A and B are shown apart, each in its own frame.
Chain A
Amino acid sequence: MGVDLIFRIAAIGILVAVLNQLLIRSGREEQAMMTTLAGLIVVLLMVVKEIAVLFDTVKTIFKLE
């Protein structure tokens, strides 16, 4: 699960970089910006579950319940 997620995020990063270059080269800076933002949001949505787990762990470690 963990390694799989990292690979997926890496692939999205590469794709977004290529798309960004492509759109900038054809003179569509705004759409390039939008794709970058979309990539960021997708990655965040994938990561948000893991972040929640991290917070839970921190809470249990320091007994903040």
Chain B
Amino acid sequence: MLLKIVGSLVVILSCSFLGLILSRDCSRRPQQLRELQTLLQMFENQISYLSDVLIEAFERVNRVANSETGLIFGRAAEILGKGEAQSAANAWEQAVRQCIRRTALNREDEEVLVEFGKLLGSTDLEGQIKNIRLTMEALRIQEKKAEESRSKNETMYKSLGILGGIAVVIVLL
């Protein structure tokens, strides 16, 4: 009897925990997309007013941000610094692919970011700034989508986890 109670408690707790994790991912995505927009704005300022080299600009953004999204910039600076990539675009793509796992961003956001890297360091200043603006616009659209799916899914995942746990316990009891 005691074993049954403990077992059902474990099942319910783990299922609610799963639901909680999923709902937290839902609310983290729009927040991180907003963060990325701020970071890109900062990046644009550094390129246009301070005329920083790419590595320095990346590093400074990473230092200011100090979060999961800033990590992409830090990793890109690292790859560029070590000379592991043939071009800036390549380094940026590697950094995005490596760091996207730690964020709550999905494939679409990943593609937007990789697309941003394609033009990195291959045009003049004006082209760079236009590229950044374009990416920010795309990120804004993604953020709107993420916000929509958040309001739809956040509470659902939470209660679905708890109720699913209870259902499993009842069926197994």
Binding site for B on A (CB under 8 A): 8, 11-12, 15, 18-19, 22-23, 26-28, 42
For chain B residues 10-65, which have a beta carbon within 8 Å of chain A? Answer: none
Q: From A8, A18, A28, A42, give the contact of B163 (CB < 8 A).
A: A18
Q: From A8, A19, A26, give the contact of B152 (CB < 8 A).
A: A26
Q: Does B129 touch A at the CB level, under 8 Å?
A: no
Bound complex: CA A18 to CA B171 (Å): 16
B160 touches A15 (CB 8 A): no
For chain B residues 151-173, which have a beta carbon within 8 Å of chain A? Answer: 152-153, 155-156, 159-160, 163, 166-167, 170-171, 173
Main secondary structure of the interface of B (DSSP, over half): helix
Residues of B near A28 (CB, < 8 A) are: 156
Known: A23-B156, A23-B160. 15 other contacts (CB 8 A): A8-B173, A11-B170, A12-B167, A12-B171, A15-B163, A15-B167, A18-B163, A19-B163, A22-B160, A22-B163, A26-B152, A26-B156, A27-B152, A28-B156, A42-B171
A-B contact count (CB 8 A): 27
12 A–B pairs (Cβ distance < 8 Å), ordered by A? A8-B170, A8-B173, A11-B170, A15-B163, A15-B167, A22-B156, A22-B159, A22-B160, A26-B153, A27-B152, A28-B156, A42-B171
Number of chain B residues whose Cβ lies closer than 8 Å to a Cβ of chain A: 12
Residues of A near B155 (CB, < 8 A) are: 26
The 9 closest A-B pairs by CB, nearest first: A26-B156, A11-B170, A15-B167, A19-B163, A26-B152, A22-B159, A12-B170, A42-B171, A8-B170
Residues of A near B159 (CB, < 8 A) are: 22
